[in-house]
Each structure stands twice: as C-alpha cells, then as structure tokens.
Structure 1
C-alpha cells in the first residue's frame, strides 16, 4: 500500500487519501468488510454482461476507476497525521472500513479470486495488478451517507433505505446509544421493553424522515435518492442525524410511557366508549373486541388489545409516520427542528379513552382500505402532523390529535 495524495473535503469535513495497492492486498481486507456487514448488497449475477466483460478485462490487467472507502469509526486526525501516518491509521482501523462506491467491482474481484482459488503464484498478472483506493478518514456517518448518495450512480443503484442499513448496521445489539438498544428483530410474541427498537423499523422511520414520505417504495425510485440527498445537504456533518432521529423517537416513547403507566383503566368506560363510537359511525364493534367482551377476563384482554403502548407506537408504521410528519412540518416551517425535544416534553394526554378512539379508527380504516398498511401509515402521519404542528388546534394534545387526524384522513380520502 502506497499513499499517493491527500485532499481535504470541505463539504463533509474529512480527509480523502488516495492509495495504490496490489489486488491481493485489497482483497485481504475487502472480504472481511463484506463478511461482517450483512446489509452490504449481494454480488451481481454473472449474467450481467457488463460485469462479465469487466471480469475478463481484470484478468488481463485493466485499470478500474478508484474504489471509495471510509473509516466509520470516530477518528480525530490532524493534517500532520494524514500526511505522515495515513497507512498506519488505515491498518490499525481495518475493521472499521466501509465500501461506499465500488461494491460491485469489489465483488467482481472476489469472484475472480474464488475462480482462481486464491492461487497468487500462478496468477501474478491478476493479483499483482495495482488498483487505486480512495479512503475518507475522519468522516461522520452522516457524511458517509451523503457521499454514498452522491457517488452511487452505477448501473445497479442502491436504495436510500439500504444504504442507511449498511451505514448503521454495527449498532445492532450494541450499547452505543445510552439507554437505547437497536435489536435485529423481535420474536412473534416477544414484548419489547422501553428503549428497545427493531433496527429495520428505525431505518424505515429515518428513511421516511429523509424522503418526507411515510410510504415504503416497492421499487427503487431516483426521486427518493434526490429527496434524501437534498435533506442531507442541509445538515451539519459534524452531527449524526440518524442518532438524533432515534433519540427523538425514544424521547417521545418515554413521554408516552409516563402517561400509560398513570392510566387507571375502567372496563365499563371502555365498553361505553366503544358502544358510542359504534353508534356514531354506524358499524359494529370490531369482532376481536366483541369476543373479548364476552370473556370473564375481558379487562386484561381489552387492556392488552387497546392500551399496549408498544403495540401502538413501537412499530414501523408509527415510526415512519413520525419521521415523515416531522420532515414535512420542518419543510413547511410549522415546526422548528431545534425545538422538537422541548415540544415532546409538553405533550399531554388528558383522557386515556382517546386510545379507544384511536383503536376504533384504525379498525374502521381496516374495514374499508384496499391496502391496510398504506392507509394506516397515512393516518399515523396525519396524527403526528396534528400533534407537532404549532399552527394546529391539536398541538401537543394527543386526545385532540387522534380525532383531528381522522377528520384530515377523511378529507384526504374523499
């Protein structure tokens, strides 16, 4: 490995260092990068003609465009460190390297290596061929994500959501966010404790925040890339936007926990409220609730079905609704991004029966929706928009926001 040049990227506040090294040396650490990050893309199929041609050319010693990598660990480096010690910095932090452009080319190199069975002695023309590698040192995760978006222009495009997964996958099951733990997944009947969130759900929410869109995209959409890039371009790269987002939602969840623990549930009040709503909307009480009401243990069943805070808010459709709503309100100047934490502290719930309404409205939407997931996401987004919009009559009032979100949903629908 030879250091050839170094430049400071003023946009993302990081050093970009250009190295030259033989293919064999690059493969030594490139394989470990892909092995330890399950969210890195799977390699392209051999049927891709462009990559088949590249594979043949590489065997004959062609020169590829530089691959771009980054150190995603928190490394404070000076200009002197970069100029005098770049190679050692890289070697000491090999485990923290991430490929941000050139992933498919790397997979092609690995594929050739596998075909040659790693036989360096018999294939010196391939393994000794020099390639160029650019490595960003001292770059924030937000900066890496920004560079990923600006550099990811190849034939096989990565979705913004997937890039977020790659960027933050090392946080799974790690005590890196204080009282917050991101878990890989939850069991079917597993109760998630306060402060625990499924990694993919949080990624969905952050993606919705960046794109200002609560709906998951079924196919890759260039517009998603552009919108996310535009929002990231507004941020300071010294801060980590993903961390801030996760901590904001956790703060909201803890505010909800404060109220849910103080509720004094009355089964008769719940039944009366359900009956009232059924008459007002001229539909029967949802079947599940109707069955629970006949049970001797109806109070606990209804409490679990309607008043489980984690079932209401600790899931993808809620977090995406939160992310999209916050983003839209910031854009429309109806919410100051610097005051969201203070606003969360002001949120109040005056009557727990508002969550009977909330549950009932979700059931009502379910009865008439063609795509339940899409419509529920829409309602959650409207709920958070009402709750955080300083111009709304429902500002910081969940009781009111539940109902006004339903009115907004009906207005949108018709």
Structure 2
C-alpha cells in the first residue's frame, strides 16, 4: 500500500487519505468490510453485462475510478511531517484492525466485480494470471473519523446519477451498528428476529430507520435521492446538530419514551368492537402498544419533530423528551382512544393510499401534541381531535 496524498475536506470536517493498493491488498480488507456490514451486500442485477465486461478488463490490468471509503468512530492521528512510507505502514495496520468500522461510499459494484474476477481466475487455476491480477493496482480514498450525517452527505453526492440507492437504505447502512447491542433499555431487531412477540423496549430496526429518515427529510412519505440533494441547507443544519449528540439515538429514545408513556396512561385498555361499535374493517390497533408501534406513527413523529424544529417551536429531541412525562388526557382515556380508532377508520374508508394517509394523520397528531404554541400541547385527546381537523383540511 502506498499513500499518495492527504487532504482535508472542509465541508464535512474530515481528512481524506488517497492510497494505492494492489488488488490482493484491497481484497483482504474488502471481504471483511462486506462480511461485517450485511446491508452493503446488494448487487446491481440490471447492469450484469456491463460488469461482466469490466471483470474481463480487470484481469488484464485496466484502471478504474477510485473507490471511496469512510472510517467511522475511530480517528487516525496524522503526525506532521510524517514519512509517507512509515505512515503507510501504520495506516495499513489501522485499516486492518478497523474493518468493522469501514463503509464503502462509492465503488461497491466495482468491489464486487474485483472479487468476481479473482474467483474466476482461482477456478481456472492459472497461477501466472492470478499473480498478475493480484499485483494490479487501484486507487482508494479514505475519509477519516467522519460523522454519520457527513457520510450520508458524501454517499448521496458521490452516487448522483448512478444506480439509485434510496436515502432510507443508505441510512440503514450507516446505523446498522445499533443492531449489535442494547442501549438504555432499547433493542433494535431485524425482520428475521421478529417472528416471536416483542419484549418491552424492542423495536423493528427497519421501522425506526423509516422514522429517523422522516426526521432527516422532514417528510412522512417516501424518499429518494433528489429530495435530500435538493435541500442542502437542511443538511448543513443537521450536520451542526449531529456534532452535539447522536440524533439517531435521540430519535429512538424519544420514540421509546413515548411508547412507555402511552402504555402507562392506557394501562390494560383494549378495544372490543362488540362493546364500542363496529368499524369498517379490523381496528388499526387493539391497545396503546399496537396503535403507536407502527411505521405510520414512527414516520409521523420524525417528520413532525423536524417541522417543529425548523419552525423554532421546539429546540429539538431533548426538549420533547424532557416533557413526555407531562403528557396527559383531559377526558376519559378509553373514550379518547376509541375516538382515535374511529377517526383512523374514517381515514381508511376514503383515502386512496391508506398507509400514506395514516402517516399524514400521525404527522399532524405529533405536531399538535408537541407544539408549545398550540392549544393541544401535551394533551392527547385534544391532539387527536385537532390533528383530524388538520388532516381533513389538507387531504
């Protein structure tokens, strides 16, 4: 490995180290990067013929554009006036010991193609060709100690115009490390882990990601790359916000504390249509847990908090979290929750896209619930009623 340059990206406050690898050196770390991050294992099937041509070209030594990577969480100290050969040795050791913290920002399909080319040569057992291939060189750029909002910014700008990867999926890649451990009584679980009943504090990683994406995008609906690229000012605000604390963790804690509060207020209440009246279909939820433990409420919460922050009606997640304990009902709790279910049933009957309509309702619900300037502030039954009025006005 050879270091060719060290530059500073002043936009995202990160050093960029440009290196040259032999294919064999890059393959040693690439396998570990892909194995440690299952969310980066997706291939582009539609371009298989293009990558087939590239695979053949790589065997004879073609030059490809640099592969761009980021090393998160860990920082590599770059001494002033360091000798490049000595620096290269220490940087190579640093990379190999931190592959679990490396993400491929640009060049994932090229990486797969290099791996495929090596596998073909190994199957053919041509030692001379394999040796030639392993000594071919490619360039890589490493962003060091970059925060996750900075990584998102770079992933989006680097991949503009290429094979699309949704903003939500890129965020899923960045925050996949939260699947490895429980924090503050919260455990995020993958879909394959969701077969049994969830325990207190367990949430779908996918749905939490949806909610957090709604916060970043300030939108409870679907997201694509152009949405975030078209709103650079919001990204700049988020980058500054993320320097103070981990906003993903704050969003998750906010949602978790809300769930606990709603369960505490509702107690053992359950909906019984034989007692409360007939809905047009299955109830949106049978109890407080099932009503609020859905993607619709998670995305509604994220977009609502984003709106209130932008309007300077609240200071951020800490502001919301500190006031959750004050949430209350001023009418009978059961009648308010029944009213909520009938309103959601009414939305279902007339909405062209039910899921989007439900997200819109919860967006207005959380806007009402946490807007300090509104008359529904921290009062659930008033937020239920006023959110429905706002939904109908804007439907």
Is this a same-fold pair by TM over 0.5? yes
Structure 1 partner of 2:35: 35
Distance 1:187 1:67, change over 3 A: closer
Match of 1:63 in 2: 63
Residue in 1 aligned with 2:106? 101
* Aligned mate of 1:348, from 328, 338, 341: 328
Asked if 1:178 is matched to 2:157, the reply is no
State the match for 1:301 in structure 2.
Answer: none
Q: Is the 8 A contact 1:159 1:225 kept in 2?
A: no
Instruction: Note the alpha carbon deviations across 1:292-319, whole angstroms, 9 max, x for none.
Output: xxxxxxxxxxxxx855222111121110
Moved more, 49-58 or 319-328: 49-58
Residues 21-170 of structure 1: pairs in structure 2 closer than 5 A = 21-45=21-45, 47-48=47-48, 50-72=50-72, 74-80=73-79, 83=82, 84=87, 85-117=90-122, 121-170=128-177
**Aligned equivalent of 2:235:** 232
| Structure 1 residues 252-295: Cα deviation after superposition (integer angstroms, max 9, x where no partner) | 2222233233x7x5999x988x46xxxxxxxx555668xxxxxx
Mark the CA change 1:5 to 1:319 in structure 2 (over 3 Å): closer, same or farther. Answer: same
Cα distance 1:341–1:308, how it changes in 2: closer, same or farther (>3 A)?
Answer: same
How far apart in 2 are the matches of 1:121 and 1:139?
Answer: 40
**Separation in structure 2 between the aligned mates of residue 45 and residue 267 of structure 1, nearest angstrom:** 46
Q: CA deviation at 1:99?
A: 0.7
CA distance in 1, matches of 2:392, 2:259: 27
Q: In 2, Cα distance between the equivalents of 1:82 and 1:69? A: 24
Question: What secondary structure, in the 3-state scheme, does the structure 2 residue paired with 1:182 have?
Answer: strand
CA shift for structure 1 position 198? 0.4
Cα distance in structure 2, aligned partners of 1:210 and 1:322: 12
Q: How far apart are the structure 2 equivalents of 1:50 and 1:191? A: 45
Q: Does 1:385 align with 2:388?
A: no
Give yes or no for contact 1:306–1:355 (8 Å, CA) kept in 2.
no
SS of residue in 1 equivalent to 2:312: coil
Deviation at 1:81, TM superposition (A): 9.3
Q: CA deviation at 1:11?
A: 3.1
Computed over aligned residues only, the root mean square deviation of the Cα atoms, in angstroms, reads 2.9
Structure 2: gaps (5+ residues): none
**CA-CA distance at 1:381 after TM superposition:** 1.1
Question: How many residues in Structure 1 have an aligned counterpart in Structure 2?
Answer: 381
Q: Which secondary structure state, in structure 1, belongs to the residue aligned with residue 200 of structure 2?
A: coil
Alpha-carbon distance in structure 2 between the residues aligned to 1:23 and 1:17: 18
Question: Which has the larger displacement, 25-34 or 77-86?
Answer: 77-86
Change (3 A) 1:121 1:179: farther
How far has the Cα of 1:358 moved from its partner?
0.7
Q: 1:391 & 1:208 partners in 2: Cα distance?
A: 23
